[in-house]
Structure 1
Amino acid sequence: MNFSLRFQLSFMMFLEYFIKGAWFVTLGTYLTSNLKATGLETANIFSTHSLGAVVAPFFVGLIADKYFRAERLLGILHLSGAFLLFLMYQANNAHEFYPYILAYFIVYMSSLAISNAISFRHLPMPREQFPAIRVWGTIGWIIAGVAISYIFHWDKSEAIASGALKNTFLLGCCSSLLLGIFSFTLPSTPPIKTEKNKGWSSLIGLDALQLLKQKDFLIFFVSAILICIPLAFYYQNANPFLTAIGLPNPTAKMALGQFSEAICLLFIPFFFSRLGYKKTILIGISAWIIRYLLFAYGNADDLSFMLLTAILLHGVCYDFLFVVGQIYTDTIAGERFKSSAQGLVTIAMYGVGMLIGFWVAGFIAEYLKAQQVINFWKQLWISPAIIAALVFVLFLFFFKDQRNK
Structure 2
Amino acid sequence: MTGAEGIEVPKLADTGRGSRLPMGIRVRLSGLMLGEFFVWGAWFVTLGTFLTQQMGASGAEIALAFLTQSLGAVIAPFIVGLIADQFFPAQRILGVLHLAGGVLLWVASLITDFGPFFVVILIYMILFMPTLALANTVAFRQLHSPETQFPAIRVFGTIGWIIAGLLIGFLAWESTKSLDLTFKMASIMAILLGIYCFTLPHTPPEGRGEKRTIRDILGLDALALLKNRTFAVFFVSSIAICIPLAFYYNFTNLYLNEIGIEGAAGLQTIGQMSEVAFLLVMPFLMKRLGVKITLAIGMAAWALRYVLFGFGDEGALFWMIVVGLLLHGVCYDFFFVAGQVYTDRFAGPGLRASAQGLITLATYGVGLLIGSLISGPIVDAFATGEASHNWLQIWLIPAAIAAVVLVGFWFLFRDSKEGADSA
Shorter-chain TM-score bucket reads over 0.9
Alignment of 1:154 with 2:168, yes or no, is no
Q: 1:361 corresponds to which letter in structure 2?
A: S
For the pair 1:327 / 2:346, whether they are aligned, the reply is: no
Residue equivalent to 2:190: 176
Q: Which moved more, 1:190-199 or 1:2-11?
A: 190-199
Contact 1:75/1:180, CA 8 A, preserved across alignment = yes
Residue 70 of structure 2 is aligned to residue 56 of structure 1:
no
Structure 2 vs 1, CA of residues 404 and 290 (structure 1 numbering), >3 Å: closer, same or farther? farther
Aligned match of 1:85: 105
Aligned pair partner of 1:270 in 260, 270, 284: 284
Deviation at 1:39, TM superposition (A): 1.5
Residue 369 of structure 1: how far off its partner (Å) = 2.6
Aligned partner of 1:380 among 394, 399, 402: 394
Is 1:401 the equivalent of 2:401? no
Q: Does 1:285 align with 2:304?
A: no
Following superposition of structure 1 onto structure 2, how do residues 87-126 of structure 1 map, counting pairs within 5 Å? 87-126=107-146
- Of residues 43, 57, 73, the one that matches 2:63 is 43
Quick one: which amino acid aligns to residue 263 of structure 1? A
> TM-score under structure 2 normalisation?
0.92
Alpha-carbon distance in 2 for matches of 1:13, 1:143: 13
2:18 corresponding residue in structure 1: none
- Partner AA of 1:61 in structure 2: G
Output the CA distance in 2 between the equivalents of 1:126 and 1:185.
21
Cα distance between partner residues in 1 of 2:74 and 2:207: 23
What is aligned with 1:10?
A: 30
Note the C-alpha offset of 1:38: 1.3
**Distance in 1 (alpha carbons) for counterparts of 2:79 and 2:211:** 17
> Residue 351 in 1 paired to residue 365 in 2?
yes
1:336 aligned onto 2:350: yes
* 2-structure distance, mates of 1:4, 1:318: 31
Unaligned runs of 5+ in 2: 1-20
Q: What's the secondary structure of 2:179's corresponding residue?
A: helix
Q: Does 1:365 align with 2:379?
A: yes
Deviation at 1:44, TM superposition (A): 1.2
Is residue 136 of structure 1 aligned with residue 156 of structure 2?
Answer: yes
Q: Percent of aligned pairs with the same residue?
A: 48
Q: Deviations over 1:15-58 (max 9, x none)?
A: 00000111100001001111111121111111100000000001
Alpha carbons 1:75, 1:183 under 8 Å: kept: yes
CA distance in 1, matches of 2:85, 2:96: 15
Aligned-pair CA distance for 1:198: 3.3
Q: Alpha carbons of 1:195 and 1:390: their partners in 2 closer, same or farther (altered >3 Å)? A: farther
Task: Give the Cα separation in 2 of the matches to 1:402 and 1:180.
Answer: 44
Partner residue in 1 for 2:12:
none
Once superposed, what is the RMSD of the aligned Cα atoms?
1.6
- Displacement after TM superposition at 1:4 (Å): 1.5
Within the candidate set 189, 196, 216, 2:230 is matched to 216
**Would the aligned equivalents of 1:277 and 1:404 in 2 still touch at CA under 8 Å?**
no
The letter of the residue matching 1:249 is: G
Partner Cα separation in structure 2 for residue 360 and residue 20 of structure 1? 24
- Tell me what 1:231 maps to: 245
Q: Tell me how far apart the structure 2 counterparts of residues 297 and 206 of structure 1 sit (CA, whole Å).
A: 42
In structure 2, the partner of 1:206 is: 220
Cα distance in 2 for partners of 1:404, 1:257 equals 34
The CA distance in 1 between the partners of 2:315 and 2:411, in whole Å, is 39
CA deviation map 1:73-105 (0-9, x unaligned): 111010001011011111111101011111111
SS in 1 for 2:349: helix
Pick the aligned partner of 1:318 from 332, 342, 347: 332
Amino acid of the structure 1 residue aligned with 2:224: Q
Q: Which runs of 5+ in 1 are unaligned?
A: none
Note if contact 2:86-2:210 (Cα within 8 Å) is conserved in structure 1.
no
1:136 counterpart letter in structure 2: F
Separation in structure 2 between the aligned mates of residue 225 and residue 268 of structure 1, nearest angstrom = 22
Q: 2:11 is matched with which residue?
A: none
Deviation at 1:197, TM superposition (A): 4.6
Q: Is the Cα contact below 8 Å between 2:298 and 2:332 reproduced in 1? A: yes
| Partner Cα separation in structure 2 for residue 404 and residue 210 of structure 1 | 15
Take 1:74 and 1:248, find their aligned partners in 2: how far apart are those partners? 36
Q: Is the 8 A contact 1:204 1:344 kept in 2?
A: yes
Cα drift, residue 210 of structure 1: 1.3
- Helix, strand or coil: the match of 2:55? coil
Question: Would you say the 8 A contact 2:86–2:209 is kept in 1?
Answer: no
Aligned partner of residue 173 in structure 2, secondary structure: coil
Counterparts of 2:383 and 2:265, CA distance in 1 = 25
Report the 3-state secondary structure (helix = DSSP H, G, I; strand = E; otherwise coil) of the residue aligned with 1:395.
Answer: helix
Q: Distance in 2 between matches of 1:136 and 1:106?
A: 24
How many equivalent pairs are there? Answer: 398
**Contact 1:276–1:404 under 8 Å retained in 2:** no
SS in 2 for 1:122: coil
